[in-house]
Structure formats: structure tokens, C-alpha cells
Amino acid sequence: MVKERVRRRRGCRIMAILMAGFVFVCLLASLISALSNLTLPSDPENTDRLSALDKARLAEALHLKDELGDEVWPGWGTEDIPVIIWNRDYSFLVGAENLPKGWELVAGDSYEGNPYYRQRSVDPQNFAVPVNGYWAASMATKDETDKALREIWQEVLPPPLEQIFPYRVLIQPSEVQITAVLHESFHVFQMELAEARLADAERAYRDEEAYWSADEEMDAGWSLEIDLLVRALEAESDEEAAELAGQFLGQRDERRQSHRLEPELVALEQRNEWLEGLAKYLELEAWRQAATAAGYEPLGEMESDPDFKAYESFEQRWSQEIGQMKRQAGAEGVTRFYYTGMAQATLLDRLYPGWKSQVMEEGIWLETMLREVTG
């Protein structure tokens, strides 16, 4: 009996020591996180012009497009596409031949030795935007994107956690912003090659409310569909990839039929996969090729960017994107189609060489070609 009490007391002491150690580790981690938050990157001193890092990242994006663009997508690399880089105060236009109406010259500054222009930011967009009769690729600065991510978390966290949350983990590699510029430039390319198709894809958004109402019943079907897509991407042989792609298409047909999905809602899926899925594919394919192409060298000025990893983190990024794709079933919003479109395009690279020459044609969707190649 005495021995039993001794054992219990000893067990309680060990548990108390472990709990105290756990609390100490938590407090220490919170302190380290809070101190780390004090050294987070501050806002740019001047938002009325591009910073040196903004210019370097944009130059690297255009360098990657020039060097590898036609390998990523035939014809896109040599296309001359102006770019807008924006923060919440100003939008900056680079690559325009002349001063557009509504813009002003950024006095006392230049980009790569050439003038660039600015205007006040009014509801800036990450997309292809019109500028005086032509289109430009529009993308936020990296600082703006990182800050927006922090603000989202600060809004949802309770006050005690808001101070100690490790916001530094939200800082993205510069490659994310660099390839996002390329993503948006591809939308301009789509506009120039297939303007009617892009406008048709944009019109599909009018059916969004009806689609997401129907989608509430389709979670299980989408889960199976996405799982098959992921397995096809990870298949070791072309034969296995084709087999799983065929199963994906069969599951897609089953989901649409069992939920009596109206033709216009099927069209919304196909059009969004064509519009955003192709751009997502190009974004990741450009990163992959920069990481693997023999002889590709980033610009020297990127050495001063603390968030640039020289594209070496591609495999980690790909794993993160696949993880995000798996979470899309049941998640409302067109982000799902970014991933399902990207996955189909990646499979077509493996199973259907030459598919890119057809995908801009009227009535050709990603699943159209995947059905052809899988029989």
C-alpha cells in the first residue's frame, strides 16, 4: 500500500514536471514568435514608385519569360506584354510605348533605363486589364501580397493570439510573385489568341450562384474526382496515368449525371478550367522549367532578395499545391477549377504531345482532349 502511494506520488511529480516543461516551451515559443514579429518586413518608405526589389522581381519574371517562355508555351515567350505592378496606393505600368491617358510619368525614376507610368490604385486586380486599347498583365507587389495575408489572419485571430502568431511563416518565396506575374501575362495571351473564348469564359460567372447551390450536394463526388486526378499525376507509368485519367473522366460524368447538372453549369466548370487552369499550369510549369532547365541562370540582382530561393524549392511548392488541390472538394469558389484545370493540362503534357496547339480552338476543352487520349 505504501509502495503504491509512493508510485502514485512519483507519477504525479513526473506529470507535473512534464506539464511545467510543456508550458515553458509554449511560453518560450510564444516569446520567440512575438519577438520575431517585431522584425517583420516594414512597409516600403515610398509607395509612389517601384522599389529596387519590385524592379528586380519584375525583371526576373520577364527574363524567365524571354529565356524559357516558348518552351513553356509556344509563342507566349516572344509575345510583348505590358505589365502593371500595384500596391494599395499606386499602380505602375511597365512596357508601354507611350504615356496612356489617365497615367502619369514617374518622374526621376526608370525601369531598366526606360520610363514607366503610374496612377492611383482604384480597385486594382490580379488579371488581364485594359489600358487604352490594349491589355496588360496586372499583379500586386510581393510586399502588398504578404501584407494582405497577414491582415487576413489578424482579422480572424483573437487579440492574445494576434500578438504571438508567427506571421513570418506567411511570407512567400519571391518565386510565387514572379510566376504570378507570368500567370496574369498568360491571360493577356489568351485574350489575344482567343478573345471570344475568354469573354465566353468570363460570362460563365453569371451562373455562379446556381452552381454553388448545386455544389452543396456534390462534395463526395468531387472528392473521388480530385483523388483520381492526383493519383494520375503521381502515376509511375504513362499507361497507369491514362487509366486513372479515364477513371477521373468516368467519375466526372457520374457526378454530373447523378446530380442532374444543367449544361450551363457543366460549361462553367469547363470554361473556368480553360481560363484559370491553363494560367495556373503555366505558372507552375515556368517555375519547374526554371528549376530544371540546363543553363538557366536568374538575374544577378536577385541575389539581393532575401526571399528568393533560385527556384530550388519547386518540389516543395508542387507538394503544397497538390495538398491544396486535395482540399478543394467542398470548398466554395473557382479556385477549385484552377487546380483541376492545371492537373488536366499537366496530364496532357504526358499523354498528348501537341495539345497546346488545339486548346485555344473553339469548343475544345481540357477534358475534351483528355477524353480523346484515354479513349
Of 178, 195, 74, 86, the C-alpha closest to 134 is: 195
Residues of the chain with pLDDT > 70: what percent? 87
Q: List, in order, residues 6 or more apart from 319 with CB less than 8 Å away.
A: none
Reply yes or no on whether the pLDDT at 32 is more than 50: no
Q: Do 366 and 348 form a contact (C-beta atoms < 8 A)?
A: yes
pLDDT at 22: 44
Instruction: Convert the pLDDT of each residue in 188-241 to its tens digit.
Output: 999 999 999 999 999 999 999 999 999 999 999 999 999 999 999 999 999 999
Q: Do 135 and 186 form a contact (C-beta atoms < 8 A)?
A: no
pLDDT band, very low/low/confident/very high, at 264 (cuts 50, 70, 90): very high
Q: List, in order, residues 6 or more apart from 302 with CB less than 8 Å away.
A: 56, 57, 60, 174, 308, 310
pTM above 0.85, yes or no: yes
pLDDT band, very low/low/confident/very high, at 150 (cuts 50, 70, 90): confident
Reply yes or no on whether the pLDDT at 143 is more than 70: yes
Instruction: Convert the pLDDT of each residue in 344-359 to its tens digit.
Output: 999 999 999 999 999 9
Reply yes or no on whether the pLDDT at 30 is more than 50: no
Total Cβ atoms within 10 A of residue 277? 26
**Mean pLDDT across 166-180:** 88
Distance CA 290, CA 303 (A): 16
Reply yes or no on whether the pLDDT at 181 is more than 80: yes
Q: What is the mean pLDDT of the chain?
A: 90
DSSP result, 168-233:
GGGPPPHHHHHHHHHHHHHHHHHHHH-HHHHHHHHHGGGGHHHHHHHHTT-HHHHHHHHHHHHHHH
Reply yes or no on whether the pLDDT at 306 is more than 80: yes
Reply yes or no on whether the pLDDT at 34 is more than 60: no
Any idea where the domains of the chain sit in the sequence? 52-191, 194-374
pLDDT at 341: 98
Residue the block writes with cell 511570407: 171
pLDDT at 153: 78
Distance CA 215, CA 100 (A): 43
